[in-house]
Amino acid sequence: MPSLLHKLIINAVRRKWGKEFPASDDYSSFKMAKGFIELKVSLKSLSKDCFFIALGVLSASFSLQSFLIPNKFIDGGVTGISLLIAARTPIPLYIPLTIINIPFVLLGYRVVGKQFAIKTAIAIVCLMVCLATAHFPQITQDKSLASFFGGFFLGSGIGLSIRGGAVIDGTEIMAIYLSRRFGISISDITVLINITVFGAAAYLLSMETALYSLITYLAATKTLDFVVEGIEEYIGVTIISTHNGEIRLMVVNDLGRGVTVYRGKHGFGSHGETNDMDIVYTVITRLELNRLNTEIEKIDPHAFVIMSSVKDTKGGMIKKRPLKH
């Protein structure tokens, strides 16, 4: 085994099984295999994160230089404050964008963790270098197109960076910190910050610019949600029915989806009478929801069905098997 690879695997084994193990060759084949698997997963994850961050930085830089800066449009949060400074002063955008984000990187180390802070610092430095050295041409002078597509590419950049485990705008970090400190919801804090930023834009630039900037912000926010959470929406469905066996077979055989069956009690009546029964849980896409409801109605019109949104899934059958028609 190559010396470098061997050392990396040994380090992975020590992280997995504890630093009390000596950095030597005295490891079982099982532990070495586990260490190799962990190293392989870590390198794969790191490569994917670097790819997402690099793509996010390029997308954000393209948005800023080709759409937002030429039209003096802004976005919310730290990026919006930096754009506002760049629009009102001769200072290049990358300077305030970097300086303002520094305290949020330090705060991210405290609130989220070391790995997140390192990735965020690298992403912000890469964005600074990209804005300082790379030059993208202005795509359009139409303000409506510039506000919409500027938000689209900026939201894509921020979302891709988040998928890579970093952020290029520290507003979210501050919102999380203030939420934990004062008990205010993250969404309320974000709204208050952005109201302040857009109010300043209306006063310092113009009301028209502030309104176009609001379009940019809305486009960026929606795009960010799509990039982070995915376009395909999943729905978790809990089915409580006396015909649970038939429903389970229908989901598995007709829809081609996996199910989880767990024991529960069915309470009803004025005295809270209970009966033991199997409860069926499955995760489907929104495209399958109508058919599932129809099939349940055929089996048991009185079934109690609970549906809730699921941001994403990992493993299982839902992403591996095609929809059945």
* 234-310 is classed CATH 3.40.50.2300: no
Better-scored residue on pLDDT, 43 or 20? 43
CA dist., res. 244 & res. 248, Å (int)? 6
Q: Report in angstroms the alpha-carbon separations of 241 from 104, 261, 293.
A: 50, 12, 13
Q: Which of 163, 80, 86 is nearest to 132 (CA)?
A: 86
Q: For residue 221, what is the DSSP state?
A: H
CB atoms within 10 A of CB 44: 10
User: Looking up tokens 């993250």, which residue turns up?
Assistant: 186
Better-scored residue on pLDDT, 223 or 1? 223
User: Looking up tokens 């960010």, which residue turns up?
Assistant: 224
List the beta bridge partners of residue 237: 282, 307
**Mean pLDDT across the stretch 246-271?**
82
Q: Does position 232 have pLDDT exceeding 70, yes or no?
A: no
At residue 5 the predicted structure's pLDDT band, cuts being 50, 70 and 90, is: low
Of 99-113, 150-164, 304-318, the range with the lowest mean pLDDT is 304-318
- Report the greatest alpha carbon distance in the chain: 75
Residue 91: predicted pLDDT: 92
pLDDT tens profile 190-228: 888 888 999 999 999 999 999 999 999 999 988 988 887
Q: Does position 53 have pLDDT exceeding 70, yes or no?
A: yes
Of 197-211, 260-274, 309-323, the range with the lowest mean pLDDT is 309-323
Residue 281: predicted pLDDT: 94
Residue 41: predicted pLDDT: 73
pLDDT tens profile 84-99: 999 999 999 999 999 9
Q: Where are the domains of the chain?
A: 3-45, 48-229, 234-310
pLDDT tens profile 24-52: 555 566 666 666 676 677 778 888 889 99
DSSP reduced 3-state for 33: helix
Backbone angles phi, psi at 18, to 5 degrees: 110, 145
At residue 294 the predicted structure's pLDDT band, cuts being 50, 70 and 90, is: confident
Residue 176: predicted pLDDT: 79
What does pTM read for this prediction? 0.74
The tokens describing 143, both together, are 């303000």
The tokens describing 218, both together, are 């809305």
Return the percentage of the chain with pLDDT > 90, whole number.
Answer: 37
**Mean pLDDT across the stretch 118-138?**
93
CA dist., res. 154 & res. 224, Å (int)? 8
CA-CA-CA-CA dihedral for 198, 203, 209, 214, to nearest 10 = 20
Residues 170 and 78: beta-carbon distance below 8 Å: yes
Residue 215: predicted pLDDT: 93
Q: How many helices (H) and strands (E) does the chain have?
A: 12, 4
CA dist., res. 77 & res. 87, Å (int)? 15
Q: What is the overall mean pLDDT for the chain?
A: 82
